[in-house]
């Protein structure tokens, strides 16, 4: 619980830092929730389970010795997980989609918002709700 409480503050700050610094819009915070938390969680395991046997060194011919969990080992694992298996394939896939014109929606639609251009009925309902709310507020203020 305490580890989670510390990590959540870090990922919250990192999410907004990346958004402002690199102008990357992670609207649902997926990278923060899965990426940063995943990375820090793997590193945290290195401290909490420091010295635990992880796997036998059978590949090296030492069947009686065991590899140990260490913070630096976990850190290297986290780097491989986040950058090598996550970021790089994601970047390459985005690059391919971009070159096929499939990565982004038209600029104007992006600015107006997909929901506003796509759901005219919902917009009308929004207006009705807003009018009803305004009437209710007026009545409340008049009391």
Partner 1 sequence: MSTGNFDNWDGNLMELGPIYPFVGWEGFMVMLCLIFWVGWHIWQIKMENKRLDSEARRLRQSGNLQKAVTDEHSLERM
Q: How many CB atoms lie within 10 A of CB 52?
A: 13
Closest CA to 76 of 45, 53, 55: 45
Nearer to partner 1, 51 or 106 (CB): 51
Nearer to partner 1, 61 or 101 (CB): 61
Nearer to partner 1, 94 or 131 (CB): 131
Q: What letter would DSSP give residue 103?
A: S
Q: How far is the CB of 137 from partner 1 (least distance, A)?
A: 5
- Specify the 3-state DSSP secondary structure of 1: coil
Q: How far is the CB of 134 from partner 1 (least distance, A)?
A: 5
* CA 12 – CA 61 distance, rounded (Å): 45
Q: How far is the CB of 115 from partner 1 (least distance, A)?
A: 14
Q: How far is the CB of 72 from partner 1 (least distance, A)?
A: 13
Site of interaction with partner 1 (CB under 8 A): 1-2, 5, 48-53, 56, 66, 68, 130, 133-134, 137-138, 141
CA dihedral 26, 32, 34, 35 (to 10 degrees): 100
Token duo for residue 77: 């694992």
For residues 45 and 69, the answer to whether their CB atoms sit within 8 Å is yes
Nearer to partner 1, 62 or 98 (CB): 62
């Amino acid at each position: 619980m305490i580890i989670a409480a510390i990590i959540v503050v870090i990922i919250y700050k990192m999410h907004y830092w990346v958004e402002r610094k690199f102008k990357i819009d992670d609207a649902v915070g997926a990278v923060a929730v899965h990426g940063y938390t995943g990375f820090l969680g793997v590193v945290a395991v290195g401290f909490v389970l420091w010295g635990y046997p992880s796997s036998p060194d059978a590949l090296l011919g030492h069947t009686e010795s065991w590899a140990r969990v260490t913070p630096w080992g976990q850190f290297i694992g986290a780097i491989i997980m986040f950058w090598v298996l996550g970021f790089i394939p994601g970047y390459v896939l985005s690059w391919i989609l971009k070159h096929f014109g499939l990565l982004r929606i038209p600029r104007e639609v992006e600015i107006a918002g997909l929901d506003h251009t796509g759901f005219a009925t919902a917009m009308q309902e929004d207006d009705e709700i807003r009018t009803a709310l305004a009437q209710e507020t007026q009545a409340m203020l008049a009391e």
